[in-house]
Amino acid sequence: MNTRLTMAATAAVALAAWGVLGSGVAAEKAVQLPLPAQDEKATAPTETAVFAGGCFWGVQGVFQHTKGVLNAVSGYAGGDAASANYDTVSTGRTGHAESVQVTFDPKQVSYGQLLRIFFSVAHDPTTLNRQGPDTGTQYRSALFVNGPEQKRVAEAYIAQLDAARVFPSRIVTQVAPLTGFHPAEAYHQDYATLHPQQPYIATFDLPKIANLKATMPDLYREQPVLVAAQGKG
């Protein structure tokens, strides 16, 4: 929905049109989840993982506030390079999902711990091609895995959570090989931090960050690691 990109005043109109302002609809509540029974073994100083869970603004914001995350970039995964731009992806016909590429230090935070955050506070993994007011395949829940170890851990954790019935419905998260990640336009980066009063951010994304702080304080960092700060200093 291109209306999601407007400034605060227009965004308020868009949210009213969606019927969410004053309706009590807000970000998904955090779900208390067990730790993954299986996890990766840290073998490299840094690692990357790609997560898709609806609008990338909120997913990026959550991971930017996660300890051990070195960078979190909004972008597109699942389609080809030629169609990796916001207007085209927004048609829902490119195969892309709005995604976040997370670079992390596996000695500080494991892939399994990032999965726990992803399923608990970053999005609702039981809704097919929808998160909040956003609908379409570009908003699907997906894990674009970087190799067999991530695939093994991701699939095992999904099976573990489904078996424990921690959600009222089965998890619909797609696990797919990462064939390419394409950073989104500059105006999408650090969006939750730069526009905290924008109605969409205040309604759907800031509560996710607050849920991270409340439910996993050991993994929460107060100051986010921002894309804009990379390479400076």
- DSSP labels, 130-186: EETTEESGGG-EEEEESSHHHHHHHHHHHHHHHHHT-SSS----EEEE---EEEPPG
- DSSP character at residue 227: G
Burial class (CB in 10 A: 0-12, 13-18, 19+), 164: exposed
Q: Active-site residue 55, yes or no?
A: yes
Pairing state of beta strands 141-145 and 174-177? parallel
Residues 44-58 as b/e (b if ≥16 CB within 10 A, e otherwise) read: eeebbbbbbbbbbbb
In whole angstroms, give the CA distance from residue 117 to residue 166: 14
Catalytic residue among 5, 20, 33, 55: 55
Cite the active site residues.
55
